[in-house]
Chains A and B, each alone.
Chain A
Amino acid sequence: MIAYLPFLQPCGLFHTHWWILMVPLVFGIAIAYRATHDATLAGFWGRTGLSTLKSSAAMAILALLMYLFVYVVLPVLPAN
């Protein structure tokens, strides 16, 4: 991290755990979505957090299902 120039060089923190960045990505989308789609702004951050949680959980479940399909289901299928 010596001589690291933010915004000019890529950040070196998440190379192997890049998938964690799904959460801030979904959070940013949820902020803009909730700001434009909610009738009232009361409890804005709570609903934004809930949207983030739901979307992240849905993607985590899909990732788990894909993992099980590739590593558990596919190996037991007959080859021919």
Chain B
Amino acid sequence: MRLLFGSQAYCRLRFFEDAVAIAESSNIDEPLNWGAALSGWFVPGFGQILIGHRRRGIYAMIGVFGLFVGGLFLGGIDCVDRKEDPLWFYAQAGAGPIAFAADFANVSLLKTGRVGKLVESPPPFMSRGSPPLVSTFKSVTPMNEIGTLFCALSGLMNVVVILDALKRRRLEAGETER
């Protein structure tokens, strides 16, 4: 019981500390950093760099790009597919133009057969049309699911990074980053 109450007090303390830290770093009375937020979508973390938080932006960039590139490495570019997996792509698109570039590479390289071969796959259930052609490089193992998840979480974390750039207080000239 003591442990339970102790942990509750600890959680409340940590929550309070986080809330204070977020409130201190936010610019409640100042206008929102729309330019920083927009540039943060084009290049993850660049929004923070624009408003003076250079190290913070670089760390965010490492996190978001690391997840996305890691996802592409694990599952291949087939993990990003705007037509076949639209719901996943909505999350992945949060990572910025890199998601659209990966989808374009998937369509122009794998789906056209420029890389690998196109082979017939079993038609969908109750389908009367000709069997669809799929690339021999299409990923169908758990690696496809893991790669898709990595890229989607990268996009969702970049939304967090963008919102942070939108609200974060701009550093004045000569002010150092903590």
Contacts and interface: CB of A to CB of B under 8 A. Distances in A.
Q: What class of interface size applies to chain B in its complex with A? A: 35 or more
A10 B115 contact: no
Interface string B53-78: 00111011011101100101111111
9 contacts: A5-B115, A10-B139, A10-B143, A25-B150, A33-B157, A34-B59, A35-B45, A35-B161, A36-B160
Contacts of A11: 73-76, 143
Interface string A36-76: 11111110100000000000000000000000000000000
Contact of A14 (B63, B74, B116): B74
Contacts of A10: 74-76, 78, 139, 141, 143-144, 147
B110 interface: yes
A45 to B, nearest CB: 9
B85 interface: no
Given A10-B147, A28-B63, A32-B157, A39 B70 contact: no
Interface string B148-172: 0110011001101100100000000
Interface of B: 18, 20-22, 24-25, 45, 48, 55-57, 59-60, 62-64, 66-67, 70, 72-78, 109-110, 115-116, 137, 139, 141-144, 146-147, 149-150, 153-154, 157-158, 160-161, 164, 177-178
Interface string A15-38: 100100100110011111111111
A1 interface: no
A21 B55 CA distance: 27
